[in-house]
Amino acid sequence: MDAPAPDRSDRAHFGGVPLRMLVPNVVTLIALSAGVTAIRFAFEGAIDWAVMAIAAAAVLDGLDGRIARALKGTSRFGAELDSLADFVDFGVAPAIVLYVAGLSSLRGLGWLICLLFSIACALRLARFNVMSDDPSDPAWRKGFFVGMPAPAGAVVGLLPVYLTVLGEGGPGGLARGWLGLEAVYVLAIAILMASQVPHFSGKAIGRVPREYVAVALIGVVAALLSIAYFPLLALVALAAFYLGSIPFAIRRFRRLEAEQRRQRGSA
């Protein structure tokens, strides 16, 4: 007896997937591979390579969404895959690197700090997934993130590791006081990720004005050369720059929020 032919809905469900929807997901999987490779490097004691892998994952994370929007290949599947990859890349991998690179000397306390970092990253990503679908937000809010983004949390949270590697200090040679400061710093970054403190959003950057194209190109080339020749110093500068931008983001956010309240009151 012949099997019944599948209906049209089944054929549509199992139909081919356009290439434009596969490309951003492949980039996300490459970023995920970089994050998992960072964990391997950490276990092997190659801390410098581990932080480079996490930095590469952060760069790829910034590209996959832009590629998806440029190719009109956004999908719910891609969004879920991106969120899961982000948790591994920026929640699990940095926590393990932090623990292996120094916080393991604090034993249970160091592991607790790493756990809190991972939990804060998970909460940040879950909140982003919920808030990203909220159509009631005013247009100016798109220029801000609520809480420190997960990629920034990973790159900035690893600042003590950059300084340790640059100082050629191994995990066993770190002073107890420095480890205490590192634990407090990592906990502060975790709190910033889980908090509602506003941060500037790089997604709000649009086209560069024509008169600033040359300056922008020089800046991009200088940044790439700095990362190529002095990667750890470039990451230290990037982390310091981002931390310095937080007060300005808070001030700008509050000013726009106050203007919105005044407009509502005068309406």
The answer to whether residue 60 sits within a structural domain is yes
Residue type, 30: I
Q: What number is the average pLDDT over the span 186-196?
A: 94
Q: What per-residue confidence (pLDDT) applies to 1?
A: 44
> What pLDDT digit, counting tens, does each position of 39-55 carry?
999 999 999 999 999 99
- Calpha distance 148→21 (Å, rounded): 28
- Do the Cβ atoms of 60 and 34 come closer than 8 Å? yes
- The pLDDT tens digits of the residues spanning 74-121 come to 888 888 899 999 999 999 999 999 999 988 888 899 999 999 999 999
122 within domain boundaries: yes
Please list the residues that pair with 198 across neighbouring strands: 146
Q: pLDDT class for 10, splitting at 50, 70, 90?
A: very low
Q: For residues 240-248, give the mean pLDDT.
A: 93
- Residue 262, in any domain of the structure: yes
How many separate domains does the chain show? 1
More confident residue, 114 or 203: 114
Please report whether residue 5 resides in a domain: no
**Residue 40 and residue 87: Cα distance in Å, rounded?**
16
Is the residue at 7 inside a domain?
Answer: no
For residue 84, give the CATH number of its domain.
1.20.120.1760
Mean pLDDT of 10-25: 65
CA angle 170, 172, 175 (to 5 degrees): 95
Asked whether residue 13 is assigned to any structural domain, the reply reads no
Do residues 197 and 246 make contact, with C-beta atoms less than 8 angstroms apart?
Answer: yes
Position 9 in a domain: no
What pLDDT score was predicted for residue 154?
Answer: 95
110 occurs within a structural domain: yes
Confidence of residue 24 (pLDDT cuts 50, 70, 90): confident
Average pLDDT, the chain: 83
Cα 243 to Cα 263: distance, rounded to the nearest angstrom: 31
Residue-number span of the structural domain to which 183 is assigned? 18-266
pLDDT digits (tens, 9 = 90+) for 126-153: 988 887 655 667 777 788 888 899 999 9
| Residue 252 or residue 180, greater confidence | 252
Rounded to two decimals, the pTM is 0.83
Q: What is the pLDDT of residue 213?
A: 63
Reply yes or no on whether the pLDDT at 155 is more than 70: yes
